[in-house]
Amino acid sequence: MRRAIFPGSFDPPTNGHLDIIKRSCPLFDEIIIAVLNNPDKHPLFSVEERCGIIREILPSVKNGDCKVTVESFSGLTADFARERGATAIVRGIRAVSDYEYELRMALMNRKLEPQIETVFLMAGEEYSYVSSTLMKQVFMLGGRVAGLIPELVESRMREKLNTQK
């Protein structure tokens, strides 16, 4: 059984995240999308909302027989991976600029849990500039983000924007 976790903030999930999930499916029997519970960072969506959104989107992402589940976690990613019996941590790399931060994280996670490998997957070129932060900013300022985030995320962001007015 090859089990991986795909950790992140997912605030909100973007089409770049979905692309990484699709690409990781053929590599593993099971992937746990691990949504960080990070209330100190004042996320736009609560951890429950982020998990719920990803669960709703998942059927459109499914790729083969890989079982994909969603869980929230707090604390160290390495601890969560070990507790779930994962042998890999999946992370997406968009551009060279991601590499330094990702390398440091991967090496630290390996120091903490030497038997768990980080697997980097290259996101599709069309998502190389897509980040959750940029998507929130552009959307909140009235810019077009169609094709870059799932439609469900766009409508949930619209609801947030309306309730914040």
Site for ligand PNS, rule CB under 6 A = 7-9, 36, 76-77, 105, 108-109
Of 90 and 145, which CB lies nearer to ligand PNS in the complex structure? 90
Of 107 and 142, which CB lies nearer to ligand PNS in the complex structure? 107
What's the CA gap between 65 and 26, in Å, rounded?
A: 8
DSSP letter at 114?
A: T
Q: How far is the CB of 124 from ligand PNS (least distance, A)?
A: 17
Nearest-5° angle of CA 102, CA 129, CA 35? Answer: 50
Biggest alpha carbon distance in the chain?
49
Q: Which residue is nearest to ligand PNS (CB)?
A: 8
Of 76 and 152, which CB lies nearer to ligand PNS in the complex structure? 76
Q: How far is the CB of 65 from ligand PNS (least distance, A)?
A: 26
Q: How far is the CB of 49 from ligand PNS (least distance, A)?
A: 16
- Dihedral over Cα of 141, 147, 152, 155: its sign: positive
What is the separation, in whole angstroms, between the first and last Cα of the chain? 48
Q: How far is the CB of 145 from ligand PNS (least distance, A)?
A: 17
Of 9 and 68, which CB lies nearer to ligand PNS in the complex structure? 9
- Contact (Cβ atoms closer than 8 angstroms) between residue 34 and residue 4: no
Active centre residues (catalytic): 17, 41, 94, 132
Gyration radius from the chain CA atoms: 15
